[in-house]
Structure 1
Amino acid sequence: MEGNEHYVRQILNTLRADPSGVALVHRDTPVIAGDLADSITSAAEAMRGSGVGVGSVVGILTDPNTPATLVARYAANLLGATVVHLFGVNAANPSDLLSAEAQGGIVAEALPAMVVVDAANLERARAIREVPSVRPVLSGLGELGHDVIDLTDSPAGAFRPDAARDGDTAVVTFSSGSTGRPKGTAWSFRVKADMVAASARRAQKATALVTAPLTHSNGFVADDVLVSGGTVVLLPGFDETEVLRSVARYQVNRLAVSAPQLYALADHPETTRTDLSSVRDLFYTGVAASPERVAVAEKVFGSVLMQVYGTSETNIISWLIAGEHTDAGLRATVGRPLEWLRVTIRDPQDERVLPTGETGEVWVNSPWRMDHYWNDPEQTARTVRDGWIRTGDVGHLDDAGYLHLHGRLAGVIKTNGIKVYPVAVERSLLDHPDVAEAAVFGVENSDRVERIHAVVVLREGAGAGPEDLRQHVSSHLSPNHAPADIELRSSLPLIGFGKPDKLRLRADAMARREATHGE
Structure 2
Amino acid sequence: MPENESMPEDDSMPKEGSTPEDGSTPAHASISARETYVSQILEVMSAEPEQVVLSCRDETLTGDELTRSVRSAAQVLRRHAGESSDDADAPVVAILTVTNSPATLILRYAANLTGATVVHLQTTNAVDPGDRIATDAKLTILAETGATHLAVDAEHLALARELCDRLPAPPTLLGWGDLAADVLDVTAGDADAFDPSAVEIPLDRAAVVTYTSGTTGRPKGIAVDFRTRNGYITAGLTMAWRGAYLATLPMSHSSGALADDSLASGGSVVIHDGFDAGAVLRAVAEHGITRTLLSPPQLYLLMDHPEVTTTDLSSLQMLCYTGCPASPERLADAVKIFGEVLFQIYGTSEAAAISMLTPAEHADPELRLTVGRPMAGEIRIRDEHDHTDLPAGATGEICVRSPFAMRGYVGDPELTARTVRDGWVHTGDLGRVDERGYIHILGRVADVIKTNGIKIQPLTVENTLMAHPDVVQAAVFCVRDKDRVEHMHAAVVLRDGGTATAAELSDHVSTALSPKHVPAEIGIRPELPLTRVGKPDRARLAAGAGG
Please indicate, yes or no, whether the TM-score normalized by the shorter chain is above 0.5. Answer: yes
Q: Per-residue displacement from partner, 1:144-202 (whole Å, max 9, x unpaired)? A: 23332211111111212323442410011111146511111110000011222343465
Work out the CA distance in 1 between the residues paired with 2:503 and 2:80.
63
The answer on whether the counterparts of 1:139 and 1:149 sit within 8 Å (CA) in structure 2 is: yes
| Greater shift in the superposed pair: 37-46 or 52-61 | 52-61
Is 1:400 the counterpart of 2:441 in the alignment? Answer: no
Which of 142, 161, 175 is the aligned partner of 1:140? 175
The answer on whether the counterparts of 1:2 and 1:190 sit within 8 Å (CA) in structure 2 is: no
Local SS of the residue matching 1:355: coil
Deviation at 1:257, TM superposition (A): 1.1
The answer on whether the counterparts of 2:491 and 2:528 sit within 8 Å (CA) in structure 1 is: no
Work out the CA distance in 1 between the residues paired with 2:181 and 2:526.
47
Which of 303, 306, 318 is the aligned partner of 2:343? 306
Deviation at 1:278, TM superposition (A): 0.7
The residue aligned with 1:429 is: 465
Work out the CA distance in 1 between the residues paired with 2:200 and 2:528.
45
The residue aligned with 2:43 is: 13
| Greater shift in the superposed pair: 456-465 or 85-94 | 456-465
Work out the CA distance in 1 between the residues paired with 2:291 and 2:216.
34
Q: For residues 101-500 of structure 1, what are the structure 2 equivalents within 5 Å? A: 101-167=136-202, 168-177=205-214, 179-200=216-237, 203-338=240-375, 340-460=376-496, 462-487=498-523, 488-496=525-533, 498-500=534-536
User: Partner amino acid for 2:344?
Assistant: Q
| Greater shift in the superposed pair: 194-203 or 71-80 | 194-203
The answer on whether the counterparts of 1:180 and 1:503 sit within 8 Å (CA) in structure 2 is: no
Deviation at 1:28, TM superposition (A): 4.3
Structure 2 portions without partners, runs of 5+: 1-28, 85-89
The residue aligned with 2:72 is: 42
Tell me: CA distance 1:183–1:504, structure 2 relative to 1, closer, same or farther (3 Å). farther
What TM-score comes out, normalization by structure 2 length?
0.89
Deviation at 1:2, TM superposition (A): 6.5
The answer on whether the counterparts of 1:52 and 1:81 sit within 8 Å (CA) in structure 2 is: no
Work out the CA distance in 1 between the residues paired with 2:466 and 2:169.
49
Deviation at 1:132, TM superposition (A): 3.2
The answer on whether the counterparts of 1:58 and 1:81 sit within 8 Å (CA) in structure 2 is: yes
The answer on whether the counterparts of 2:475 and 2:491 sit within 8 Å (CA) in structure 1 is: yes
| Greater shift in the superposed pair: 51-60 or 373-382 | 51-60
Work out the CA distance in 1 between the residues paired with 2:478 and 2:334.
30
User: Partner amino acid for 1:250?
Assistant: H
| Greater shift in the superposed pair: 199-208 or 229-238 | 199-208
Q: Per-residue displacement from partner, 1:126-155 (whole Å, max 9, x unpaired)? A: 222223323112222212233322111111
Local SS of the residue matching 1:248: helix
Work out the CA distance in 1 between the residues paired with 2:235 and 2:389.
31
User: Partner amino acid for 2:439?
Assistant: L
The residue aligned with 2:62 is: 32
Deviation at 1:224, TM superposition (A): 0.8
Work out the CA distance in 2 between the residues paired with 1:503 and 1:172.
28
The answer on whether the counterparts of 2:209 and 2:224 sit within 8 Å (CA) in structure 1 is: yes
User: Partner amino acid for 1:484?
Assistant: A
Deviation at 1:27, TM superposition (A): 0.7
Local SS of the residue matching 2:188: coil
Local SS of the residue matching 1:513: coil
Tell me: CA distance 1:144–1:489, structure 2 relative to 1, closer, same or farther (3 Å). farther
Deviation at 1:83, TM superposition (A): 0.8
The answer on whether the counterparts of 2:528 and 2:536 sit within 8 Å (CA) in structure 1 is: no
The residue aligned with 2:5 is: none
Deviation at 1:462, TM superposition (A): 4.2
Tell me: CA distance 1:38–1:505, structure 2 relative to 1, closer, same or farther (3 Å). farther
What TM-score comes out, normalization by structure 1 length?
0.93
The answer on whether the counterparts of 1:412 and 1:419 sit within 8 Å (CA) in structure 2 is: yes
Which of 53, 56, 79 is the aligned partner of 2:114? 79
Work out the CA distance in 2 between the residues paired with 1:505 and 1:110.
35
Higher RCO by CA contacts (8 Å cutoff, separation 6 or greater) = 2
Is 1:65 the counterpart of 2:95 in the alignment? Answer: no
Identity of aligned residues (%): 49
Local SS of the residue matching 2:366: helix
Work out the CA distance in 2 between the residues paired with 1:419 and 1:38.
58
The answer on whether the counterparts of 1:473 and 1:482 sit within 8 Å (CA) in structure 2 is: yes
Deviation at 1:503, TM superposition (A): 4.1
Work out the CA distance in 1 between the residues paired with 2:281 and 2:55.
15
Work out the CA distance in 2 between the residues paired with 1:201 and 1:289.
26
Which of 31, 38, 52 is the aligned partner of 1:22? 52
Tell me: CA distance 1:126–1:397, structure 2 relative to 1, closer, same or farther (3 Å). same
Work out the CA distance in 2 between the residues paired with 1:456 and 1:58.
44
User: Partner amino acid for 1:22?
Assistant: V
Work out the CA distance in 2 between the residues paired with 1:249 and 1:285.
25
User: Please, what is the CA RMSD of the aligned residues?
Assistant: 1.9
The answer on whether the counterparts of 2:215 and 2:532 sit within 8 Å (CA) in structure 1 is: no
